[in-house]
Chains A and B, each alone.
Chain A
Amino acid sequence: MEGTMQTQPPSDPGGQGSDGRVDSKSRYDWKDITEEFMSSASALQMGELLHDTNFGLFEAMSAIEMMDPKMDAGMMCNQIQRKVLTFDSALESGAIKIKDLSIPELIGIMDTSLACLVTWLEGHSLAQTVFTNLFLHNPYMIDDKCLKAFSILMLKLVDHIRDRVNRAGVFEEEDFQSLTYGFKMAADVTDARATGMMKEVEDDLNRIIKMTRSKVGEERDAQTEQEHEITNALFSRVKFFRLFLMGLLSFSKEKCEGIPQAQKLICQLLELLPIIRDTICMGIQPDNKEVGKNDYPTIMGFEPLVNQRLLPPTFPRYTVIRSREEALGHIEGLLYRLQIVTTVPELTTFHIIMEAFQEFSKSSPCVLSRSILQLTLLPVNKRVFGVHTMVDFLKDTIRNFIAPPVLSQKSALYNNSQAKQYVDAWFVQVVRPFTALVQITGHNRARQRDKWAHILEDLSALQEEADKVDACLHQMLTKMEPNRQHIACLGNWVLYHTLQAMISYLLAGFELELYATYEYHYVYWYLYEMLYSWLINTLHRADNFLLENETMAGEK
């Protein structure tokens, strides 16, 4: 499908003509075999089924009955009374306009686009949300400066969000659908140009706002006041979308350099929200028509069924687009969550980060904020905050936790080349499961639980290796420094995380309502008697070790 796409995917494959007109370039020679088929079929026994070797009962389960509205998604298009419009047909018929749009129209289109964006972020397909906006199918044809800039920006926004969520990889099919169905995402327009176009529109609107502002000693007439208010409403939106894209882009700057800028932009965005919220009513509203499945009333430029033929012809999903108010609520939540993300680079050790990430996850944040959180800690280059290697970062964390001699500069073991070899080889193994631990916190709450269970295997293998390394190092150390020990330093640290994973697994069961009441007491018992007491043991051991270390260092 990708190769043959123009700006707008064909929503009219083969023609919807029901007049039976045969295409003059027809290469088919249809023959009616109904009678032969029926008489052959009558020779089958009851319950007997004729099928190809490669298409048995299992494959047949994906079959749908054509023209059954419950199963055939395409039937929706044929059932409704009105004609489904495409960008071209809508333009031709005058159903949409591409120039001289009024401000209420622009406001309505922007607010509805935002609602579609939010609905997409909640797990629905682009085809049934963002791309129901016909203007996005062919933005370069739009004459209206504001609408054109907005449409291009919308495409860039969607593209960027897709990129971030895909890279973070902390979503499943119930969280997010990234398929773009071959739509062009204005790839030839740079981010700078897109935001630049919006800035030009902002400047034009700002001039009008200044002109219509109430001046000291002068009485404004009602019309000027109206113009001022409504232009301000539009201005706020244009600025909002421009800053929103810029904000998201600043998170992806290398080495977290864009974080301060992100913080400023989020503040500005939060300031703009109330104005937008208060002026929703100024945008054009849909008529109060009947709501059907996937055919709801909407405003100029939006066609709920325009992409129906792009979707797989399976059971139709009913996508409810969020209301404009709800969408703003979601965006507000998103902005607050992103504010929290901006504080992450201040966190120092792995343990602190795990705590912070788990805390963040408790509020069931949206897939976008989760993804940006993950990418802020571990961007594409796989370095912590883009700067430190994972190994160095974890070494620091372990030093803090239990100060194993092999990692301590004061110890003779530190410079011993064989010890270094053992330890470095072990650290290579550590990276994968510990990266996974962080990523687990990025998934949705239900998926996290399964992943906690799976990682226990990796952690127990790591523990075994840690114990071996500890034993070797201990032997070596006692020869060099008879007073020092290296029993289970690394092992203790891995155990600490294993226990945390087990505890998270059990606690998740409560939240996800997986325990029957008669099971509660064994979960409580296991947590109390086993897991938490072992956890405290590991912490005590670590503390004791640190204390001993300090004493030793003091004595030297």
Chain B
Amino acid sequence: MISESEHPLTGSDVNKNLTLPTSIEDSKPRIEGKIPNGKINHLNDENGRIVRNISTDQDNHKMDLVAQCTCGSGVQHSNEVDNDDESSEHLLCESVRRVHIESQLEDDIKEIDGISYTVYESEKQMPDIMRLITKDLSEPYSIYTYRYFIHNWPKLCFLAMDKEKCVGAIVCKLDMHKKMVRRGYIAMLAVDADYRRKQIGSRLVMKAIKGMIADDCDEVVLETEITNKAALRLYENLGFVRDKRLFRYYLNGVDALRLKLWLR
């Protein structure tokens, strides 16, 4: 009565047997050479630290990748080929590539529009970071919270400076999640009120994500208040997706959304 082909599969089996919607079929990436295949191989530097990501496989899995992509299927996937052959970014999921400030993802952002972006260097910068973040965030943190993140993951803490003045900061970490997945976490992000809507926040997030990618990160998560429309816009523009809703998450009773960016 029931033939095998009719019997539906559950869970992850389902994806492989589906016919993909025609719009994705039509917009196959026409890149020759370095086609994303979802597998990222690493090149280690002299110290064994992961420096660059290279790929050698011609893609047979690109359709899988595209199918699992979180972009809308109506999007024309990009034909752009990187001039920088060894750049790790073009091997990532399409949705991460398709960002408004794509070009800056390729260059290392050092200074733009008069704002310079630097990585954390010393305890001297701690008061600035704390001052900036305490002003904006609804939950209070002690200095030890800042130290936990920044001392353990100094390379994931970035500051945006207008000459000598710190006008933006981001604090992150990168850890194993449930022993299976390397998960980056954006703990805090704040930009001085007078410097908003200048892409400073987005650029800080980009720098942080680049840092995480360089360290073999699989996904990035964060929580933000459901009422924080500016933050939701910022992250969703970068390809983050709403993963979970958390009722009454914050001390003030506001719900939170867990946002997630899949990198692999």
Query: Do the beta carbons of A446 and B247 come within 8 Å of each other?
Result: yes
A289 to B123, CA, bound (A): 45
A537 at the B interface (CB under 8 A): yes
Give chain A nearest CB distance to B205 CB in angstroms. Answer: 17
A191 to B70, CA, bound (A): 58
Point out the residue from A71, A317, A445, A530 that lies within 8 Å of B14, measured CB to CB. A530
Contacts A46-B123, A317-B251, A460-B11; is A449 near B244 (CB within 8 Å)?
yes
Chain A residues with Cβ below 8 Å from B83 are none
Chain B residues with Cβ below 8 Å from A463 are 10
Chain A residues with Cβ below 8 Å from B14 are 530
Query: Do the beta carbons of B124 and A46 come within 8 Å of each other?
Result: yes
Residue of B whose beta carbon sits closest to that of A45: B123
Query: Do the beta carbons of A456 and B249 come within 8 Å of each other?
Result: no
Query: Do the beta carbons of B122 and A47 come within 8 Å of each other?
Result: yes
Chain B residues with Cβ below 8 Å from A378 are none
Contacts A57-B151, A450-B244, A495-B8; is A70 near B140 (CB within 8 Å)?
yes
A502 to B147, CA, bound (A): 42
A525 at the B interface (CB under 8 A): yes
Query: Do the beta carbons of A530 and B8 come within 8 Å of each other?
Result: yes
A361 at the B interface (CB under 8 A): no
Point out the residue from B11, B145, B241, B251 that lies within 8 Å of A516, measured CB to CB. B241
A444 to B18, CA, bound (A): 33
Contact code string B1-44 (vs A, CB < 8 Å = 1, else 0): 11000111011001000100100000000000000000000000
Query: Do the beta carbons of B2 and A541 come within 8 Å of each other?
Result: yes
B152 at the A interface (CB under 8 A): yes
Point out the residue from A57, A70, A174, A541 that lies within 8 Å of B1, measured CB to CB. A541
Query: DSSP majority for the B interface?
Result: loop
Query: Do the beta carbons of A487 and B10 come within 8 Å of each other?
Result: no
Contact code string B62-85 (vs A, CB < 8 Å = 1, else 0): 000000001111100000000000
Query: Do the beta carbons of B249 and A174 come within 8 Å of each other?
Result: yes
Q: Which of B73, B142, B147, B226 has the most CB of A within 10 A?
A: B142
Give chain B nearest CB distance to A375 CB in angstroms. Answer: 22
A22 at the B interface (CB under 8 A): no
Contacts A315-B251, A488-B2; is A518 near B245 (CB within 8 Å)?
no
Query: Do the beta carbons of B122 and A46 come within 8 Å of each other?
Result: yes
Query: Do the beta carbons of B11 and A456 come within 8 Å of each other?
Result: yes
Query: Do the beta carbons of B242 and A174 come within 8 Å of each other?
Result: no
A317 to B250, CA, bound (A): 10
Chain A residues with Cβ below 8 Å from B123 are 46-47
A187 at the B interface (CB under 8 A): no
B248 at the A interface (CB under 8 A): yes
Point out the residue from B21, B144, B245, B251 that lies within 8 Å of A512, measured CB to CB. B245
- Residues 208-230 of B at the A interface (beta carbon under 8 Å): 226
Q: Which of B241, B247, B251 has the most CB of A within 10 A?
A: B247
Chain A residues with Cβ below 8 Å from B102 are none
Chain A residues with Cβ below 8 Å from B236 are 516
Query: Do the beta carbons of B226 and A513 come within 8 Å of each other?
Result: yes
Point out the residue from B1, B143, B245, B251 that lies within 8 Å of A446, measured CB to CB. B245
A288 to B157, CA, bound (A): 48
Query: Do the beta carbons of B248 and A498 come within 8 Å of each other?
Result: no
A537 to B7, CA, bound (A): 10
Query: Do the beta carbons of A518 and B71 come within 8 Å of each other?
Result: yes
Contacts A46-B122, A57-B147, A541-B1; is A64 near B249 (CB within 8 Å)?
no
A288 to B14, CA, bound (A): 63
Query: Do the beta carbons of B245 and A515 come within 8 Å of each other?
Result: no
Query: Do the beta carbons of B72 and A57 come within 8 Å of each other?
Result: no
Contacts A49-B147, A487-B1, A534-B8; is A514 near B71 (CB within 8 Å)?
no
Contacts A456-B11, A525-B21; is A57 near B152 (CB within 8 Å)?
yes
Give chain B nearest CB distance to A389 CB in angstroms. Answer: 28
Chain A residues with Cβ below 8 Å from B54 are none
- Residues 154-201 of B at the A interface (beta carbon under 8 Å): none
Q: Which of B8, B242, B243 has the most CB of A within 10 A?
A: B8
A488 to B126, CA, bound (A): 64
Residue of A whose beta carbon sits closest to that of B126: A47
Chain A residues with Cβ below 8 Å from B72 are 518-519, 521
Query: Do the beta carbons of A71 and B142 come within 8 Å of each other?
Result: yes
Residue of B whose beta carbon sits closest to that of A511: B245
Query: Do the beta carbons of A487 and B2 come within 8 Å of each other?
Result: yes
Residue of A whose beta carbon sits closest to that of B241: A516
Q: Which of A123, A449, A514 has the most CB of B within 10 A?
A: A514
21 pairs across A/B with beta carbons < 8 Å?
A46-B124, A49-B151, A57-B147, A57-B151, A60-B147, A61-B144, A61-B145, A64-B142, A175-B247, A459-B10, A488-B2, A492-B2, A502-B10, A513-B226, A513-B242, A513-B245, A514-B245, A518-B74, A519-B72, A519-B241, A521-B72
B contact set with A: CB distance below 8 Å = 1-2, 6-8, 10-11, 14, 18, 21, 70-74, 122-124, 126, 139-140, 142-145, 147-148, 151-152, 226, 236, 241-249, 251-252, 255, 257
Given contacts A57-B152, A60-B148, 5 further A-B contacts (CB under 8 A): A57-B151, A318-B251, A513-B242, A519-B70, A522-B73
